[in-house]
Amino acid sequence: MPLHQITYGDYIIPYQINPDPKRSARIAIHVDPDGSVTVDAPPEFDPATVHIAVQKRARWVVGHVGEALTRFAHVRPREYVSGEQVIYLGRRYVLKVIPTNEKPRPVRLKGNRLEVETRSDDPDDIKGRVRAWYRVKARDYFVKRITSAAGQLPWIDDVPQFRLMEMAKQWGSCSPDGYIVLNPHLIKAPRECIEYVILHELAHLKHHDHGAEFWMLVDRHYPQWQKAKTELDTLVEVLMVE
The model's pTM is 0.72
Mean pLDDT, rounded, for 119-132: 90
Rounded CA-CA distance 31/214 in Å is: 22
Looking at the structure, do residues 177 and 98 belong to the same domain, yes or no?
yes
**Mean pLDDT for the chain overall:** 89
Rounded to an integer, what distance in angstroms lies between the CA atom of residue 88 and that of residue 125? 20
Distances (CA, A) of 23 to 17, 28, 39: 13, 9, 11
Structural domain total, the chain: 2
Of 73, 94, 109, the one marking the end of a domain is 73
pLDDT tens, 72-122? 655 667 788 888 889 999 999 999 999 999 999 999 999 989 999 999 878
Say how far apart CA 82 and CA 176 lie, in whole Å: 44
Query: Domain range holding 207?
Result: 84-240
Pair 39, 99 in one domain: no
Residues 182 and 156 in one domain: yes
